[in-house]
Amino acid sequence: MPSATSLAPADALQENRDQYKADLARTPQGDFMRPTSGRRRSSRSANGVGVQVEDTRICVVMVGLPARGKSLIAQKLVRYLGWLSITAKCFNVGNYRRTNTPQPNASFFDFSNKEGERLRRAAAQAAVDDMCKWFKLPGNLIAILDATNSTKERRRWIKDRCDREGIETLFVESKCDDEDLIMSNIREVKLTSPDYKGQDPEEAAQDFRNRIMMYERVYETLDEDESDLTYCKVIDVGAQVIINRLQDYLQSRVVYYLMNLHIKPRSIWISRHGESMFNLSGQIGGDANISDRGEMYARKLPELVKQSAGDLPLTVWTSTLKRTAQTSRFLPYEKLAWKALDELDSGVCDGLTYADIEKEYPQDFKARDADKYNYRYLGGESYRD
């Protein structure tokens, strides 16, 4: 475990505050915690969430055979983007198709079935139309078009339509030959898909396998013939990732997430650090040691973890602060410190109590209570940061 910095003495904390005195004198109370991004003047437009864009709108087009985890990836991506305060929405073509054909059998997906092809195309058209309407609303930045999109002709049609609407496209193919994962997805589908609601599980599984076979007959993977497209191919759940023609910041955020995505189930246990000396005194921030009660918690923690995790091999992630290192030191696992897990930097208020902050900065104390997520401490951070 890397060594942590020692707690700054009171005179050092005061010196840290003093360096901002001039700024505080010029800045009205109630303003010094506000994010500055809204005040910047720029020829470029901002999407209001700290990302500089020039009317950026992106359609993430899922590509892949059934049972390759496309819908799970789409749902996880929407949640991730929401965590980044980026407005995103998933348009699932299967949901549109079910309005006319709620429980079709595998023959419906036979590409020689002209009526089935017409209905599937109509569902895709309706989903894309709704997506384009959604993009016209302010602040809507990323849509995920969730479907097989299994042929080059279908992908080109989507690309051309988005080009006409001024929407960027990012094709994301989930390509998987892992039979265990495919079978796991098939079992999940037969239990949860509305297509098989009320049907015998074994018959549902066999029909779904037949559906996959229908798509395999015509499936075309993304390749050099589509080198003009922006795409990301995720092969065997991230064993290999191929990226082509990545263009901008938002696309890079999406691809970064996909490169680090785990779609197989796994568990994460989260623990707070043991009680610290600053917890006892009511001070915020700092790098205090844990208290006697914090020490008791640290010694009890291995037993609590074992009750949940058993003998699983774990990795413990902590912040770089002493209180987390001290809390985790009895855990018999590999330990890694990550500065991104450090507590919010409270800037000039570091080491103060909330009573101190209310006394020294009364308007800002109220402003922080009104909007904790967006307010930034002078010389420190906001939760949005």
Selection from 212, 266, 297, 261 nearest residue 77 by Cα: 261
More confident residue, 382 or 28: 382
Please, is 61 exposed, middle or buried when counting C-beta atoms within 10 Å of its C-beta (0-12, 13-18, 19+)? buried
Q: Taking the CB of residue 280, how many other CB atoms lie within 10 A of it?
A: 13
Dihedrals phi, psi of 377, to nearest 5 degrees: -70, 145
Band of residue 43 on the pLDDT scale cut at 50, 70, 90: very low
- Provide the 3-class DSSP secondary structure of residue 343: coil
What's the pLDDT at 363? 87
Q: Is the dihedral of CA 72, 74, 80, 82 positive or negative?
A: negative
Of 305, 286, 308, which Cα lies nearest the Cα of 297? 305
Expressed in angstroms, the distance from the first to the final Cα of the chain is 26
343: pLDDT strictly greater than 90: yes
- Residue 319: which pLDDT band, with cuts at 50, 70 and 90? very high
Query: Looking at the annotation, which residues are catalytic?
Result: 146, 273, 343
Sign for the pseudo-dihedral over CA of 299, 300, 306, 312:
negative
| Residue corresponding to tokens 């330990």 | 335
pLDDT in tens, 260-293: 887 667 789 999 999 999 999 999 999 999 999 9
Write the pLDDT tens digit of every residue in 68-118: 989 999 999 999 999 988 999 999 999 999 999 999 999 999 999 999 999
pTM metric for this prediction: 0.74
DSSP 8-state symbol, 276:
B
Q: Could you give the CA distance from residue 182 to residue 90 in angstroms, rounded to a whole number? A: 23
The pLDDT of residue 52: 43
Q: Where are the beta strands (DSSP E) in the chain?
A: 45-46, 52-53, 58-63, 88-92, 142-146, 168-175, 231-235, 240-244, 315-318, 334-337
Distance between CA atoms of residues 175 and 64, nearest Å: 6
8, pLDDT greater than 50:
no
- Give the per-residue pLDDT at 160: 98
Nearest partner of 77 among 141, 32, 30, 129, judged by Cα: 141
State the chain's mean pLDDT as an integer.
87
239 burial type by CB count under 10 A (0-12 exposed, 13-18 middle, 19+ buried): exposed
